[in-house]
Amino acid sequence: MQEWRAVILAAGAGSRMKSALAKPLHRIAGASLLDHVLRTVAEAAPSETILVASPENRDALAQAAPAGVSVVVQETPLGTAHALGAARAALAVGEGDVMVLFVDTPLVTAGTIRAMLAARRERRDPAIVVLGFEPADTAAYGRLVCDGDGHLEAIVEHGEADESQRAIGLCNSGLMLFDGAALPAILDGIGNDNEKGEFYLTDAVGVARAQGRAVGFEIAEATEVMGINSRAELAMAEAVQQDRLRAAAMAGGATLEDPASVYFSVDTVLGRDVVVEPNVYFGPGVEVGDGVHIRAFSHLEGCRVEDGASIGPYARLRPEAHIGPEARIGNFVEVKKARVEAGAKVNHLTYIGDARVGAGANVGAGTITCNYDGYAKHFTDIGEGAFIGSNTALVAPVSVGAGAIVGAGSVVARDVAADDLMLTRAAEKTIPNYAARRRKQSAAGS
């Protein structure tokens, strides 16, 4: 496949989002709209990617864009063709077709991009390939008007369409692929003789036809080209993406007991024979091995769970948690920046942060690693096969040696050697008949 370049238009103000955050940085499935488009573009392997920003969002987008993505600025918002023109100097260097995408159309797939590239090269060498779709409700969309040979003649906006044109079910998504060699002349031919005085890419079709070039089209699913201009549309896109991710997880060999209640991030990785119970949330950066069981109401982000481990219910794995093979993380357990090694058990009501729990160790209910002293975080090391009794506070920095036992209710502020027993309980004291005497005093009003 010959070279092609991607231009992503991201200079829109996004005023309907009513947000201090630039619209391209709003998220679906744990990733920004910008990141979704960049991921898709990268999968289709362009020779270059150019991002068109506004003066207002330039710095934010330049910071968010990965190395190798060029950022240019549309200084004045004068329409989509004008925005593409902002990339003209960058496009003058190099060769290949030019794909125009939109940051607020994040659900387009790499397969669709490849289909457009193939259409540009296989069908009478069209100057432009437009991506169309057939929505259930065509109300506000521009229509793709074709000639008798099935080639695109024009894009007619809904407000300017006559009755016969409004009956057309094929609509414009906005995405276009241009013959890079023809693009400068096409841009030069687009005028701004319209109500807003702006330069629109939709006019490129008529210009190319007037220059004697054919224009083709490809058709995508309506959900693939849905635009995001409001919080409501952001939520609709989230729903579409979640359905895709759930389907992919199950196709890959995972069991989702209640798919609609499980939420993924776009980069979630699940191994084979993973079982996910209802109401589980996967934040960004989660990798799960084979045969893992994730029980209901668990929250995972930035973590790795190895083969055969069990998580939850009601567990929280925070960034840099690493759960080893066959380990057990139980109900109301939180793990942060810690490694729980093979076969270790942390089953109840426990916080493990900045720590290592050695292979085969058992951590009792109510245990906490006291990792923060108000100024800095400190490390707790629990050795292989150690036993930590319930309601223990491990005051970091501290280590418990392999095979050691810490009695329930202890506060451990110094290291425990391997195979030692550590107890810090106060001596027991019994006051005979105290409860009865206290009730009698209370009844007497004293």
Report the catalytic residues.
348
CA dihedral 159, 163, 165, 168 (to 10 degrees): 110
Residue 36 makes CB contacts below 8 A (sequence gap 6+) with 28, 29, 106, 107, 241, 266
- 195, 189 Cβ separation under 8 angstroms: no
Mapped onto helix, strand or coil, the DSSP state of residue 275 is strand
DSSP state string for 97-165: EEEEEETT-TT--HHHHHHHHHHHHHSS--SEEEEEE--S--TTSPEEEE-TTS-EEEEE-GGG--HHH
Nearest to 249 by CA among 298, 286, 220, 297: 286
Alpha-carbon distances, residue 345 vs 278, 291, 301, 338, 360 (angstroms) = 23, 17, 20, 14, 7
Nearest to 207 by CA among 116, 95, 84, 75: 84
Nearest to 4 by CA among 40, 53, 49, 52: 49
Alpha-carbon distances, residue 373 vs 1, 313, 392 (angstroms) = 58, 30, 17
